[in-house]
């Protein structure tokens, strides 16, 4: 019955039924057939959201929306342009570097593509970069966002697995920096080979300073948040709220670009995004309960542990499953439906759940860049006005640093768990 | 219809404002004045439930449910029309049934409340009922022309 439920969900999902109904339709059918009381539907769906860590999700979405509307994004981009615009690859390096800084505030890959991505692609085209290359750099660098704190997918992962969200967020820092470094090297090699444009000279100290001053308040936001969490001053949810007020403060008092209309628009956009994501969390709670009743996770655990009990082999299997899941499902749905089934045998075999979280989310984010359901691909090709074929061709070299990062994350748990180790 | 939409938007904006304000106020009061708000976490969780479900009709009305529409869009027009109609009917049925189930559950929970702040459970369940009931109505209104955007939508 559990397998039938999963197959029905996948068929509805592929047919283009909204995810929330694709999950709820088979789940309700199960409840009615098995004769469970209808009150179960109400309670499972409503109380799935009775979770303090999940409160961070709308607040971080709000921060991302606010930054896009209130001019913070522009200043981050200008600062990055001054600092690394002369490096081989010029604006491509700026694009990657800005994504890292921006992701330190928004926490969602597609928010990065949709917000900063528009500015980046337009600026790169104006400076003579080809549209497919500009789009490829934007899509590849957006993968970094969801593993660098704050991260909405990691918060959802933490709430599903009851793993410390602070540890998960902190664990993403080193892998994100490695990924950025590898992406920058790739962009440099490609740009040297194809003689791509870059700034005519390195900036003077005065130029760096004059770009840094307006960007500094924005750059301090992720520092404030990460330091606050690591020092135990506040929880991730409280860190989100503090960051939101900080961004409101700097965009209204320092940058003087925040208007009531901006605030209202960003709040309305936040409401829709939040509801669209978290309604799936609510629906998936019912689905997850049914899978547990049907003992699907237990059966899967038995099956997978007969294959091997070696953590490395199991991590390779997990990589494959998450990668395939990421190719077909969006990250929230995949986290909610796949993680509760995969995580138990992995943890039983000795895989650290924080390490597994980073492996899972990075895989799902790479999935955003792989057909047939690569949402980042669709969004970027739409923004850059290029075909999917052109984008995939330009993106091909960037899969190399992403796969290398995935390998490093998978095979060096000590590296991933180094920073969280300070919190244990 | 416009007035109803504005009203729901205003309520949602106030709920979201409170959702951001409460944890921030908690940090300030706890860390600076050593006077934490009792039950702040409980209130925040309640606000999250209300924000998600009360704004759900806005998501449905603007066609922003998360969906992978690319395979459907590649199908011939008659198949697309059939799938659109099926999607709308399924959405009406699912939303309507959950709204009914929640309504029935509210009656059984009239005397239950949260432990610290004594927020009645019917308020939580009321938000869920509101979200799914009006989602069903909007899906019904748009039965012939689904509001759901035809392209893939995600965050």
Taking the CA of residue B4 and the nearest CA in chain A, the distance in Å comes to 15
Q: Which residues of chain A neighbour B41 with C-beta distances below 8 Å?
A: 52
The structure tokens 């970069």 sit at A129
**Least-confidence region, from A66-80, A81-95, A96-110, B20-34:** A96-110
Q: Mark yes or no for CB contact B17/A267 under 8 Å.
A: yes
**Which residue from A minimizes the CA distance to B15?**
A271
**Spatial CA neighbour of B19 closest among A143, A275, A398:** A275
Q: Which of B70, B94, B153 sits opposite A373 (nearest CB)?
A: B70
> Above pLDDT 90, what percent of chain A?
30
Neighboring chain B residues of A282 at a CB cutoff of 8 Å: 52
B117 touching chain A per CB within 8 A: no
Complex prediction ipTM: 0.93
Find the residue in A nearest to B148 (Cα). Answer: A18
Count H helices, E strands: chain B? 6, 0
Q: Is the predicted pLDDT of residue A130 greater than 80, yes or no?
A: yes
CB contact under 8 A, A13 and B153: no
How far apart CA A95 and CA A82 sit, in angstroms, is 12
DSSP-assigned letter for residue A149: S
Q: Do B9 and A110 touch (CB under 8 A)?
A: no
Three-class SS string for A223-245? HHHHHHHHCCCCCHHHHHHHHHH
- Chain A residues within an 8 Å CB radius of B22: 241
- Give the H or E element holding residue A351: none
User: Does the beta carbon of A36 lie under 8 angstroms from any beta carbon of chain B?
Assistant: no
Q: Do A275 and B26 touch (CB under 8 A)?
A: no
The mean pLDDT of A161-165, rounded to a whole number, is: 89
Q: Does A318 touch chain B (CB under 8 A)?
A: no
Q: Of A78, A69, A145, A77, which is closest to residue A108 (Cα–Cα)?
A: A145
Could you give the CA distance from residue B133 to residue B95 in angstroms, rounded to a whole number? 6
- Altogether, the residues listed in chain A come to a count of 424
Rounded to whole angstroms, the Cα distance separating B85 from B90 reads 9
Q: Report pLDDT for A105.
A: 58
What CA–CA distance (Å, rounded) separates B117 from B43? Answer: 8
Higher pLDDT, B36 or A333: B36
Tell me whether B114 touches chain A (CB under 8 Å).
no
Q: Measured between CB atoms, does B41 come within 8 Å of chain A?
A: yes
| Paired residues of B67 in beta bridges | B153
Cβ neighbors of B16 (< 8 A, separation 6 or more) are A58, A62, A267, A270, A271, A274, B51
**CB spacing of B53 vs A19 below 8 angstroms:** no
Q: What percent of chain A has pLDDT over 70?
A: 96
A106 and A112 in contact (C-beta within 8 Å)? Answer: yes
Is A116's pLDDT higher than 90?
A: no
Tell whether B112 lies on the interface with A, counting CB pairs under 8 A: no
Residue of chain A whose Cα is closest to the Cα of B126: A46
How many contacts, defined by CB atoms under 8 Å, are there between A and B? 208
Higher-pLDDT residue of B45 and A124 is: B45
The HSE-up count of residue A40 (CA atoms within 13 Å, CB side) is 18
CB pair distance less than 8 Å for A234 and B66: no
Distance from CA of B46 to the nearest CA of A (A): 7
Q: How far is B50 from chain A (nearest CA, A)?
A: 10
Residue of B nearest to A328 (CA): B68
Q: What is the mean pLDDT of residues A96-117?
A: 68
Q: How many CB atoms lie within 10 A of CB B82?
A: 12
The larger pLDDT score, comparing residue A330 to residue A208, is at A208
Is residue A394 classed exposed, middle or buried when 0-12, 13-18 and 19+ CB atoms within 10 A define those classes?
A: buried
CA distance A301 to B22: 41
DSSP A39-98: HHHHHHHHHTT--TGGGHHHHHHHHHHHHHHTTHHHHHHHHHHHHHTTSTTTHHHHHHHH
| A302 CB-near residues (< 8 Å, 6+ apart) | none
Interface test with B, best of A23, A42, A247 (most B CBs within 10 A): A42
Query: Measured between CB atoms, does B53 come within 8 Å of chain A?
Result: yes
Q: What does the pLDDT profile of chain B (155 residues) look like in tens digits? A: 789 999 999 999 999 999 999 999 999 999 899 999 999 999 999 999 999 999 999 999 988 888 877 788 888 989 888 888 899 999 999 999 999 999 999 988 888 888 888 999 899 899 999 999 999 999 998 876 655 555 555 44
Report pLDDT for A76: 82
Cβ distance A55 to B62 less than 8 Å, yes or no, reads: no
In DSSP notation, A169-183 reads: HHHTHHHHHHHHHHH
Contact A161, A353 (CB under 8 A): yes
Average pLDDT, chain A: 87
Of A60, A73, A70, A61, nearest in space to A118 by CA: A73
**Nearest by CB to A20, which of B47, B65, B154?**
B65
Query: CB distance from B49 to chain A under 8 Å?
Result: yes
Cα A106 to Cα A152: distance, rounded to the nearest angstrom: 8
Rounded Cα distance, A344 and A259, in Å: 48
Dist. CA B110–CA A197, nearest whole Å: 68
User: What pLDDT was estimated at residue A172?
Assistant: 93
Give the residue, B49 or A328, on which the prediction is more confident. B49
Do residues A154 and A170 lie in contact, with contact meaning Cβ atoms separated by under 8 Å? no
Q: How far apart, in Å, are the Cα atoms of B40 and each of A238, B27, B102, B121?
A: 11, 10, 26, 17
pLDDT tens digit sequence for A239-253: 889 989 999 999 898
> Averaging pLDDT over each range in A63-72, A167-176, A361-370, B77-86, which range is the top one?
A167-176
Rg (CA), chain A: 21
Angle of helix A353-367 relative to helix A388-411, nearest 10 degrees, comes to 170
Q: Which residues of B touch A42 (CB under 8 A)?
A: 98, 101-102, 104-105, 125, 128
Residue A322 CB neighbours (<10 A): 27
Of A284, A332, A326, A367, residue with least CA distance to A152: A332
Report the pLDDT value the prediction gives residue B155, as an integer from 0 to 100: 46
Contact state of A21 with B94 under an 8 Å Cβ cutoff: yes
What is the DSSP-derived secondary structure letter of residue A378?
Answer: H
Instruction: Kindly list the residues from chain A whose CB atom is less than 8 angstroms away from the CB atom of residue B26.
Output: 238
The pLDDT value recorded for residue A209 is 92
**Strand, helix or coil at A25?**
helix
Name, of A140-149, A375-384, A393-402, the range with top average pLDDT. Answer: A393-402
CB contact under 8 A, A41 and B101: yes
Per CB-CB distance under 8 Å, the chain B contacts of A262 are none
Q: Look at A275-279, A326-330, B42-46, B125-129 and tell me which has the smallest mean pLDDT.
A: A326-330
Higher pLDDT, A308 or A408: A408
pLDDT of residue A183 exceeding 80: yes
A13 and B CB contact within 8 Å: yes
Per-residue pLDDT, averaged over A268-276, amounts to 91
pLDDT of residue A110: 60
Q: Per-residue pLDDT for A382 more than 80? A: no
pLDDT the model gives residue A162:
87
Residue A10: closest C-alpha in chain B = B68
């Amino acid at each position: 019955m559990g397998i039938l439920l999963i197959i029905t969900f996948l068929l509805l999902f592929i047919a283009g039924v909204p995810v929330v109904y694709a999950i709820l339709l088979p789940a309700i059918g199960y409840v009615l057939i098995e004769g469970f009381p209808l009150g179960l539907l109400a309670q499972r769906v409503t109380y799935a959201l009775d979770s303090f860590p999940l409160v961070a999700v709308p607040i971080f979405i709000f921060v991302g929306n606010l930054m896009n509307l209130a001019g913070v994004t522009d200043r981050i981009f200008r600062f990055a342009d001054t600092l690394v615009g002369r490096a081989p690859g010029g604006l491509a390096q700026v694009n990657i570097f800005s994504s890292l800084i921006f992701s330190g505030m928004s926490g969602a890959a597609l928010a990065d593509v949709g917000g900063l991505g528009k500015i980046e692609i337009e600026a790169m085209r104006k400076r003579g970069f080809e549209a497919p290359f500009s789009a490829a750099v934007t899509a590849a660098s957006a993968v970094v966002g969801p593993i660098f704190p704050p991260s909405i997918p990691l918060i959802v992962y933490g709430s599903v697995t009851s793993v410390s969200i602070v540890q998960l967020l902190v664990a993403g820092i080193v892998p994100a920096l490695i990924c950025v470094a590898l992406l920058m090297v790739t962009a440099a090699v490609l740009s040297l080979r194809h003689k791509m444009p870059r700034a005519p000279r390195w900036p003077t100290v005065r130029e760096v300073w004059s770009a840094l001053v307006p960007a500094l308040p924005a750059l301090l936001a992720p520092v404030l948040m990460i330091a606050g969490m690591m020092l135990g001053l506040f929880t991730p949810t409280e860190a989100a709220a503090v960051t939101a007020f900080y961004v409101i403060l700097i965009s209204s008092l320092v940058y003087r670009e925040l208007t009531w209309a901006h605030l209202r628009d960003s709040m309305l956009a936040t409401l829709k995004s939040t509801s669209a994501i978290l309604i799936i969390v609510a629906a998936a709670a019912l689905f997850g309960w049914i899978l547990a009743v049907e003992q699907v996770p237990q059966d899967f655990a038995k099956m997978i542990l007969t294959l091997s009990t070696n953590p490395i082999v199991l991590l390779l299997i997990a990589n494959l499953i998450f990668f395939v899941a990421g190719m077909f499902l969006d990250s929230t749905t995949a986290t909610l439906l796949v993680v509760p089934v995969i995580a138990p045998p992995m943890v039983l075999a000795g895989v650290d759940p924080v390490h597994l979280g980073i492996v899972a989310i990075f895989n799902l984010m790479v999935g955003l860049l792989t057909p047939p359901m690569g949402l980042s691909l669709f969004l970027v090709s739409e923004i850059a006005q290029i075909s999917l074929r052109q984008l995939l061709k330009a993106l091909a070299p960037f899969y190399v640093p992403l796969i290398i990062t995935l390998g490093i994350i998978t095979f060096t748990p000590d590296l991933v768990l180094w920073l969280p180790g300070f919190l244990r | 219809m416009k007035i109803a939409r504005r009203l729901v938007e205003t309520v949602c904006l106030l709920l979201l404002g409170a959702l951001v304000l409460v944890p921030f106020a908690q940090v300030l009061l706890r860390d600076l004045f050593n006077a934490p708000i009792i039950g702040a976490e409980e209130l925040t969780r309640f606000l999250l439930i209300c924000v998600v479900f009360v704004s759900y009709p806005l998501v449905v009305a603007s066609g922003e449910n998360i969906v992978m529409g690319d395979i459907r869009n590649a199908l011939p027009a008659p198949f697309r029309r059939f799938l659109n109609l099926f999607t709308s009917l399924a959405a009406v049925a699912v939303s309507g049934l959950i709204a009914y189930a929640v309504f029935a559950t509210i009656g059984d929970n009239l005397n239950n409340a949260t432990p610290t702040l004594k927020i009645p459970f019917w308020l939580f369940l009321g938000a869920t009922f509101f979200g799914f009931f009006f989602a069903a109505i909007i899906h019904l209104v748009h039965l012939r022309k689904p509001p759901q955007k035809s392209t893939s939508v995600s965050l």
